[in-house]
Amino acid sequence: MKKLLLFSIVIFVGVVFVGRLSYMQLFSFSTNQVLDDPAIKTVYDYPERGYVYDRNGELLVGNQPAYDVMVIPRETKSLDTLEFCNLLGLTKGEFLTKMKRARKYSTRLPSVLVGQLSKADYASLQEKMRKYTGFYIQKRSLRDYDTNSGANVLGYISEVNETDLRNNPYYTSGELIGRTGIEKQYEEVLRGRKGVKYIQKDRFNRVIGSYKDGKLDTLPKLGKEIHITIDKHLQEYGENLMVGKRGGIVAIEPTSGEILAMISGPTYNPALLVGRERSKNYTKLHYDSIARPTWDRSILAEPSPGSPFKTLNALVALQEGVITPETKFTCYNGFFVGKHKRGCHCGGGVRDLNSGIFNSCNAYFAGTFRKIYGKYETTDEGQDVWEKHMKSFGLGNYLGVDLPTGRPGRIPSKEYYDRAYGDGRWVSSFIISNSIGQGEVAATPIQLANMTAAIANKGWYYTPHIIKSIGNSGAIDPQYTERHYTTIDREHFTPVIESMANVYKYGTAKYIRIPDIEIAGKTGTVENYTIIDGKKTQLTDHSLFVAFAPVNKPKIAVAVYIEHGYYGSRYAGHIASLLIEKYLKGEITRTDLEKRMLEKTLEKEYAKPLSGEPFKINEYVW
C-alpha cells in the first residue's frame, strides 16, 4: 500500500491531465479561432452598398460619403487647441471631454472625435489636417436618397445589435444591416461581401505583419444594384396626395404583379434616418403612437374590405350557378334578416347584377349570399366552398410579397364561426354582413389591390412583388413569375367588370370619371368602431376604393384605403382616379380636383375621438 501510494497518484494525475488536455484541445477546439484570437486583428474592407433604381431606371437610393474625424490619443502631440476647435466647430470644453472619452476607450485605438461631417466641412478641413498628428479623417459610406418618398418600401439600415450578432455570424459590432423594407429583404444582395485581412499583432496591439502572409485574406465582393417595380413619380405623387390623411394605397400592374406604388400615410422622408440626426428622428417617429408614421398601412392595415368585396361575392354566386346576371332582388331601402331590417343606400327598387354593383345595393348582395349557402345542405359545406373561392384571390393569408412585413387579413372559416357560436349553431343569416364586406372579413390594401388585379386579369394573378431585377443577371425569385388562378371561370368576370365600369358611368363614382380612360372600379364605405372610455363608439366610415384601367387592357389596378374618409368615392375614389390618370397619361387634366385633394386634410376628423368631447360622425362637410 505504502509503496503504491505515490505510484498511483502519478498515474492518476497523468490520466487527469491528459483528459483535461484532450477536452481543451480536441473538444473545445474550433477552427474559427482566428476570429477570437487576440493576436490576430481582423480588418474588414467594406464594399459599397448596392444602389436601388425604380422601374424606369431612375435612381432611388445611392450612397453618400460621410467623414469622421478620428483620433488616436497617444499619437497626438501638443497642438493649438483653439485653432483646431474652430476648425472642427467645437468649444474647448467639448473638445476636452471628447478627448478624455477617447483616451478612456483606448489610447492606442482610433475613436471618433467628430462624426459624419458634411462634404463642405470636409473640404475645408482636409488640407489642414496634416498639421495635427494623431488626427485623421476616415471616410464612411451612408445611404443617400434621391427621393423624399417610399420610406416604407425602401426601409432603412442601422447598426447591428446583439441579437443580430448572435443570429448571424457574418456581422461584427458596428456594422450596418437592413432593418425594414427592401434594405432588409435584399440585405445580402445589396451589402455584397466584405473583404477580410488578418493582421498579426502583439499584446501591445502593435502590428507585426500580415497573418500567414495573407493566405486567408479575401477580397470584398461588391453589393449588387437592384431595380424595383416602384414608379418613382407615381409613388411621390401618391404621397403628396396623402398629406394630412391616414391610410394605404397600393397600385399593381395586373399583367405582371409588379407593385407600382405602395403608399402609407402619414409617412416620412427616408433621409431622416441617415446621418447625425438619425437617432433623434427615429425616436420621434417611433414613439408617435397616434399617427404611427412607421406603421406601413399599405401592407399592415386590415380594415373590412367593404363594398369592393361585393364583386367577389357576385363572382362566387355566378361560379356556383346560383344566380345569372339577370337574377333580380328587390331592395326595400334595405333588407330583412328575420324581423330586423338592415339599411341600404342605393335608393331601393328591383336590382340585377349590373345595378346591384354600380349602385352598391346591400339587399341584392344579401340575397345573393343567401343563395350561395342555400345551394348546399349544410351551412358548413357552404362556408367551405365560399372560403375556398375567396382565398383563391389571395385573401385570408399572407400574400408572399417580398417585403419583410405583412398581415394575413381574414377570410373566416367554419371553424372560426364554430368557435364563436358553437358547432352547428350558426347559419348564413348570422354572417350576412360578409356579403357586403363587413362582418368578419378583413383585408390589407395590398390584398385588395391584388384582388382587383385578379379581376382585371379575369381570373389569375401574379404574387405582388417589389423586385424587378437584381444586378445584371436580372433573375428574380421564380415564385413571382408563376401565375395563380382563381377558382372562378373566366366567363363570369365579363358581366362583373362591365358593372364595375358602370360604377363610373352611372354609379357611385360617376362624378370622378376621367375623360378618355375607361375605368372599372368599386367604392367602399366601411363602418368602423373604436373603444372610447370603455364604450364601443362608431367613428366616421373608412373610405375605400378599388379600380383598374383601362378596362379592356388593364395596366394598373389600385386599392385606396383612407381612414375615416367617409364615402368611398370621396377621398379614396378621388385619389384612385388621380393616380390612374397620372400613371396612364403622365399628367392631370382635372386640376381643380387635384388641387382639392392635395389641400384637403382629415386631421380634424382624426382629432375627434381624442378630443374627449362628444362628436358627430359622417359629416357632410366637403
Partner 1 sequence: MVRRIDWITILLYGLLVFIGWINIYSTTLNEDFSSFLDFSTLYGKQLFFILLAFILAIGIFFVESTFFERFGSLLYIISLVLLLGLFLFGKTIGGAKSWYDLGIFNFQPSEFAKIATALALAKYLSDIQTDIRRVKHQWYAILIILIPAILILPQPDPGSSLVYFALFFVLFREGLPIIYLGLALILIMIFIFTLMYGVVWVGIGLGLLTSLVFLFKRPTVKIPTRPLLIFIVSCLLISLSVRFVYNEVFEQRHRNRFDLWLRIEKDERKLNEIRKTIGYNTFQAEKAIESGGLTGKGFLEGTRTKGDFVPEQHTDYIFSSLGEEWGFLGTGFVILVYTLLFLRLLQLAERQKRDFSRMYGYGVISILFIHYFVNIGMVIGLLPTVGIPLPFFSYGGSGIIFFTALLFIFLNLDANRLKEGIF
Q: Which residues bind partner 1 (CB under 8 A)?
A: 1-3, 5-7, 9-11, 13-14, 16-18, 20-22, 24-26, 28-29, 33, 36-40, 200-203, 208, 211
In the complex with partner 1, the residue whose CB is nearer, 203 or 340, is 203
Q: What's the first-to-final CA gap in the chain, in angstroms?
A: 107
Give least dist CB 16 to partner 1, A: 7
* Number of Cβ within a 10 Å radius of residue 358: 26
Measured between alpha carbons, how far is 395 from 410 in angstroms, rounded to an integer?
7
Give least dist CB 36 to partner 1, A: 8
Give least dist CB 107 to partner 1, A: 17
Contact, 230 vs 436, CB < 8 A?
no
- The helix (H) or strand (E) run that includes residue 297 is helix 297-300
Rounded (10°) CA dihedral 423, 424, 429, 434? 40
Give least dist CB 165 to partner 1, A: 16
Question: What pairs with residue 546 in β-bridges?
Answer: 522, 559
Measured between alpha carbons, how far is 361 from 330 in angstroms, rounded to an integer?
10
Give least dist CB 38 to partner 1, A: 6
In the complex with partner 1, the residue whose CB is nearer, 40 or 617, is 40
In the complex with partner 1, the residue whose CB is nearer, 9 or 420, is 9
Give least dist CB 217 to partner 1, A: 15
In the complex with partner 1, the residue whose CB is nearer, 2 or 535, is 2
In the complex with partner 1, the residue whose CB is nearer, 19 or 89, is 19
Contact, 408 vs 398, CB < 8 A?
yes
In the complex with partner 1, the residue whose CB is nearer, 12 or 421, is 12
Q: Which of 504, 497, 616 is nearest to 564 (CA)?
A: 616
Number of H helices, E strands in the chain: 22, 22
In the complex with partner 1, the residue whose CB is nearer, 11 or 610, is 11
Measured between alpha carbons, how far is 38 from 32 in angstroms, rounded to an integer?
13
Give least dist CB 196 to partner 1, A: 16
In the complex with partner 1, the residue whose CB is nearer, 129 or 216, is 216
258-265 and 329-331 strand pairing? unpaired
Give least dist CB 72 to partner 1, A: 20
226-228 and 52-53 strand pairing? parallel
Measured between alpha carbons, how far is 545 from 437 in angstroms, rounded to an integer?
13
Rounded to the nearest 5 percent, the helix, strand and coil shares of the chain are 40, 20, 40
Largest CA distance in the chain: 116
Roughly what angle, to the nearest 10 degrees, separates helices 571-585 and 591-599? Answer: 130
* Number of Cβ within a 10 Å radius of residue 330: 13
Measured between alpha carbons, how far is 239 from 220 in angstroms, rounded to an integer?
38
In the complex with partner 1, the residue whose CB is nearer, 38 or 169, is 38
Contact, 415 vs 341, CB < 8 A?
no
Report the sign of the C-alpha dihedral through residues 324, 325, 327, 330, in that order: positive
Give least dist CB 214 to partner 1, A: 14
Measured between alpha carbons, how far is 285 from 274 in angstroms, rounded to an integer?
13
In the complex with partner 1, the residue whose CB is nearer, 3 or 340, is 3
Give least dist CB 13 to partner 1, A: 6
Contact, 544 vs 524, CB < 8 A?
yes
Measured between alpha carbons, how far is 544 from 569 in angstroms, rounded to an integer?
8
In the complex with partner 1, the residue whose CB is nearer, 6 or 290, is 6
Give least dist CB 163 to partner 1, A: 18
Give least dist CB 76 to partner 1, A: 26
In the complex with partner 1, the residue whose CB is nearer, 9 or 123, is 9
